[in-house]
Structure 1
């Protein structure tokens, strides 16, 4: 669940709820999870926000004025089966739940909303578009978000210098390859001559921030990214950079 929550920092959510207090309180919680939170007071306004903003996920109450949650979902599903939708309800009417299931609802939340259940339901709903979230697991609790180009360790943001970031991104894009010093120099300093010590110092700085075994040297060839799966079984030809 951790990697999904990290990826949501670059996603948007539409929250439709007619109760003003609950809408404001829940929107504040959602703002800690998502990049942007859009709100609506009823189904009509919610559909307008959906059309204008195209959120990555929708959470809607089942009972709302002007247009209820089921009618809203039905209208959206007429042309969009990709966006995950979570239904918020305090009702247990079987017919309503059956209607919602037939509309391909991705999850349900019961009022009052509990934070743990909220995050779990959101993560579960996002699973079917998980491939689009753009997270790369570099090692245990260390993730790179392709969308935001950010590094997180145990949920905390790690700041990198501009050249450090450029080099790490180069390794990530070529994470199954070994890069020579010439490859690195050409990419990071295309118009300037650079000495080997500059490359080595740059890699040492990354290792200091992300871990000693994050980048490995391949004897007589160059360097490569040590991905999560490779950490468990290192080849004899790979050695941490001195």
Structure 2
């Protein structure tokens, strides 16, 4: 499994819902090594309470769990939340369940038993949903969400200014040195002038939101990203 993939997972949180104790403990142990935060629940009622408390990025839930099913849980969540990613696991391939699941905007449907390959494929699909929303991996545990204009290191979230957002995306997409002229033409507003003092203050504040030593100044030329 690629380091880039696991680095991205480590920036997210997960809630795992399974009523069989043995399965829940085994899968939860795997998830704890992959995600920044892992919580679990043994039924739909407990899961909904933990969803409200922890606001996970991903929910992995079984379907059949006594009185309330995983489908019931997801329907309740989807009444007010269309963004939280959800993966369903089930020993059943019943067409009715599949049809209901298809309407709930799921990332993946895993047929039990949950093998490591099935789990990793589903988690890769989860990460890819963020790639589609312009999520970039900056460094281990650090992600840049262009759409939301934030940087997260798993513990803190930094909100970017419009200039910072534009500049970081330019650095990432070009993947080369960005000259002072490019910085002025692409990042600075048409109605403002990029003075030396204004640029220094901009870079000073911008660096506070980035991994340490991530942005390098090439004297007299411009800036580039330094990734380990």
TM range (shorter): 0.5 to 0.7
C-alpha contact (below 8 Å) 2:88/2:109 kept by paired residues: yes
Deviation at residue 144 of structure 1 after TM alignment = 5.3
TM-score after normalising by structure 2: 0.65
- Identify unmatched segments of 5+ residues in structure 2: 144-150, 156-166, 181-195, 205-212
Distance 1:2 1:226 in 2: 19
- Identify unmatched segments of 5+ residues in structure 1: 151-170, 189-205, 229-242
1:222 aligns with 2:225: no
Q: Report the equivalent of 1:157.
A: none
Q: CA 1:44–1:172 in 2, change beyond 3 Å: closer, same or farther? A: same
C-alpha contact (below 8 Å) 1:3/1:143 kept by paired residues: no
Q: Report the equivalent of 1:43.
A: 44
Q: CA 1:17–1:186 in 2, change beyond 3 Å: closer, same or farther? A: closer
C-alpha contact (below 8 Å) 1:15/1:27 kept by paired residues: yes
The count of residues paired between Structure 1 and Structure 2 equals 182
Q: Report the equivalent of 1:147.
A: 152
Pairs within 5 Å for 1:50-199: 50-130=51-131, 134-136=135-137, 145=143, 146-148=151-153, 175=171, 177-178=178-179
Pick which of 27-36 and 65-74 moved more: 65-74
Q: CA 1:109–1:45 in 2, change beyond 3 Å: closer, same or farther? A: same
Q: List per-residue Cα deviations over 1:43-99 (Å, max 9, x = no partner).
A: 111111111111001000011023111111111111111111100001111111111
Deviation at residue 32 of structure 1 after TM alignment = 1.2
Deviation at residue 106 of structure 1 after TM alignment = 1.8
Deviation at residue 14 of structure 1 after TM alignment = 0.5
Larger Rg over CA atoms? 1
Distance 1:74 1:109 in 2: 18
Distance 1:105 1:172 in 2: 31
